[in-house]
Structure 1
Amino acid sequence: MNSRAKAIQNFFSDDSDDDDLHQQMVAMAVQHQTFLLEQYAQQSKHGGSVAGREYKNRKREKYHKNLMEDYFCERPLYPPVDFRRRFRMRREFFYRTLNNVVVHEPYFTQKIDACGRQSLSPEQKLTAFFRMLTYGCSADSTHEYCRLGEFTALECLRKFCSVIEAMYGQWYLCSPNLADLYRLLHKASHRGFPDMLGSLDYMHWERKKCPTAWAGQFTGYKHKPTVVLEAVASYDTWIWHAFFGVVGSNNDINVLARSLLFNDVVNGVSPHIQYVVSGNEYNLGYYLADGIYPGWATLVKMISQPDTPKRKTIFPKTRGL
């Protein structure tokens, strides 16, 4: 077992592949959310009481009890199937994340306020955050169920993003080490793809709240502002490379031109790889990609034997595969 696997086991009580994938996706989503929050960092912040603002008794104790009875008690109103559909994770995974976050950041612990009342519970804060992250809703929309004010919900979002990135970023948002690289190459070779490093692809994440002044920089053929995410995934669904947020990243080629993925290859510090395919010797690892990418030596496209003139132009035969 390599050092990465041992470190992951320190965070979680079991080694479920499903939970591991969920934690990767949470880490990636948090990284994306952190990028969006940085865009609004220059906006004015609330500070202290505001004269003339009406006090709202949100009855947070009552709604904490309702939340616990709905999802977190021994016999909740909604079964595990409903919890997984609405939270996009199992309840056990939710609590492991909650416990790690509370230990790392005191902001999420439940305290007694100046009036002697219980403050918001960790379950309320994390539920509000996951609702915003899962459904892309606004901070104010979590008020009716979780009883968090708009500023509190945004502050919870900022704190949670910082905690997750600090705790899991070094394990789930990093390049593979030598042990990981050996495992990836060995498994790919066993499946008939000698020295394949992973599958490379892009996806568009819509920015519904993109400022109008920036919309043109992030609008491409989707005809709406999007952030293009570049990701490399291995056979075991480990997403070990993610790159996004480039201004002007309207299509996949623009992102590839700015990506850090091939920096080691360009600088001559990439791992030494040597193998033979169809009598030809190669010294670079490669990624599986679709037909939009250029015909680089580090990319192998999905159609190896095109059968029409159009496909022969779009998908040239590469590397004899």
Structure 2
Amino acid sequence: MGVFYMDFYDDDDDDDDLITDWWDQEELSDDDDYYIAAALLTDIEHKRTKRKHHGSVPGREIIHRDRFAGNLRIVADYFADPPIYSAKLFRRRFRMSRELFLRIVASVEAHDDYFRQRPNAVGLLGATALQKVYGAIRMLAYDIPADSLDEVVRISESTMIEAFKHFVKAVVDVFADQYLRAPTAEDTARLMAINTPRGFPGMLGCIDCMHWRWKNCPTGWKGQYSGHVDGPTMILEAVASKDLWIWHSFFGLPGSLNDINVLQRSPLFQRLTSGTAPELEFMVNGNKYTMGYYLADGIYLSWATFVKTISNSQGNKRIHYAKVQEGVRKDVERAFGVLQARFAMVRGPARFWDTETLWYIMTACVIMHNMIIDNERDENVDFDYDQEDSEVLRKEEYQRRNKPVLEKFLKIHKEIEDRRVHEQLRDDLMEHLWALHGAR
């Protein structure tokens, strides 16, 4: 018997010594030997199993959530025929139509295996994609903690946070190319058709920045991310049109920067300087222009691609121009307001710790904001949102460009920053608006 014990536990010196010492202490009967050896083996096996434990923490409460019943409850509430809660209530609570919600569920499930329902180690089926997306969107819409959804989606707090991170990343991966694209030639023509009757031919949208307060900013970064308001923030630069579609989203720079610093790091004019932007030509007050522009507030530089208001304006034409420009420029402010109203998470303080997760959250919210606008667009014409890949000039490629292309790049940059064209365009728009509206 002693040899058997030694061979069986030859990988644990402490336990071997324990059995050997006991064996040599005294002579015992065969029955005593058997029961004492069995007790020692049981105790040793318990210690060894405890050391190798990788499951739930001992002593932690185990909750049998019945995820199957939770999924059936969600289906009965919103997706049965008929559902308990109407489509109007669904739109109010999820910020989107039921059809769009189901499209997102199907798309992220097909993209990421994490959302597919699979059995766990004991054969029990986990949560469905419907439950995970339900919880993630409710977190975005109401800025609620993950554990507050447990009673509905039957998912623990840690798993819900994990599902939330997978969701925002999947939304960006699947829908960014379609709903966060630069304007195509068709988009540009449509923007011209919208903005010309408003008195701004050639306008591509309105530009501004929004700050998102970062509650859980690491202490070592607080100085870098503070400056605009009380506490650290991160900046979203955006361009929006009249229908509140966000055409450009650039997020993640620290809140200590201002709009000019953000613009200098922004890829807003990348397609223009690389020569891949759609061609644009328009007339204002008898003068021809070949480069679109954005309405901006006074902090932006006096570039040919920005049209700003006139501070302390005097004279009827100037006063009228400033009034119209400031009114139309509110498009981007309204877009920020609607974005924050739809997704309360980007209105309240950010509670995640890493910048990558915050970037995915903000970008996913912008994408779903555009998806909702597209889904609810009150138009009979279907627009083709797909576009072929176009060349984008990256910084590391500048030195590898041939000389004629580099000269063209520098020429376009000079045209963008031309203050003379900026002032001429502003004056032409002033005369155009006065002739269009002010002289009535």
TM-score by length of 2: 0.54
- How far apart are residue 209 of structure 1 and its match? 3.1
Note if 1:49 corresponds to 2:55: yes
2:69 is matched with which residue?
Answer: 62
- How far apart are residue 141 of structure 1 and its match? 3.2
1:4 is matched with which residue?
Answer: none
State the alpha-carbon separation in 1 of the partners of residues 312 and 281 from structure 2. 24
**Amino acid paired to 1:177:** T
What whole-Å deviation, never above 9, does each CA across 1:159-218 have from its counterpart, x for those lacking one? Answer: 222322221111112212233333333443354322111121222223233333323322
State the alpha-carbon separation in 1 of the partners of residues 59 and 196 from structure 2. 66
1:119 is matched with which residue?
Answer: 126
Note if 1:91 corresponds to 2:98: yes
Closer/same/farther in 2, CA of residues 305 and 51 from structure 1, 3 Å limit: closer
**Amino acid paired to 2:173:** A
Larger Cα-atom Rg: 2
State the alpha-carbon separation in 2 of the partners of residues 143 and 109 from structure 1. 19
Contact 2:180–2:248 under 8 Å retained in 1: yes
Contact 1:248–1:254 under 8 Å retained in 2: no
Secondary structure (helix, strand or coil) at the match of 1:320 reads helix
Q: Bigger shift: 221-230 or 260-269?
A: 260-269
Matched residue count: 271
Higher relative contact order (CA 8 A, sep 6+): 2
Closer/same/farther in 2, CA of residues 177 and 276 from structure 1, 3 Å limit: closer
| Runs of 5+ consecutive residues of structure 1 not aligned to the other structure | 1-46
**Amino acid paired to 1:131:** R
| Runs of 5+ consecutive residues of structure 2 not aligned to the other structure | 1-52, 327-421, 430-440
TM-score by length of 1: 0.72
2:174 is matched with which residue?
Answer: 167
What whole-Å deviation, never above 9, does each CA across 1:247-278 have from its counterpart, x for those lacking one? Answer: 35543233222211123455666555444433
Percent same amino acid at aligned positions? 43
Which of the numbers 228, 231, 234 marks the counterpart of 1:227? 234
Note if 1:244 corresponds to 2:251: yes
RMSD between aligned alpha carbons? 3.1
What whole-Å deviation, never above 9, does each CA across 1:50-93 have from its counterpart, x for those lacking one? Answer: 44252332232333333333333224333333322221122222
Closer/same/farther in 2, CA of residues 127 and 50 from structure 1, 3 Å limit: same
What whole-Å deviation, never above 9, does each CA across 1:279-302 have from its counterpart, x for those lacking one? Answer: 444332101122332322211124
**Amino acid paired to 1:169:** A
2:428 is matched with which residue?
Answer: 320
Query: Which protein is richer in helix relative to its size?
Result: 2
Q: Bigger shift: 160-169 or 213-222?
A: 213-222
Which of the numbers 188, 192, 201 marks the counterpart of 1:185? 192
What whole-Å deviation, never above 9, does each CA across 1:78-134 have from its counterpart, x for those lacking one? Answer: 333332222112222211211222223332122333434332122211111112222
State the alpha-carbon separation in 1 of the partners of residues 125 and 274 from structure 2. 56
State the alpha-carbon separation in 2 of the partners of residues 209 and 137 from structure 1. 16
Closer/same/farther in 2, CA of residues 80 and 276 from structure 1, 3 Å limit: closer
Closer/same/farther in 2, CA of residues 48 and 282 from structure 1, 3 Å limit: farther
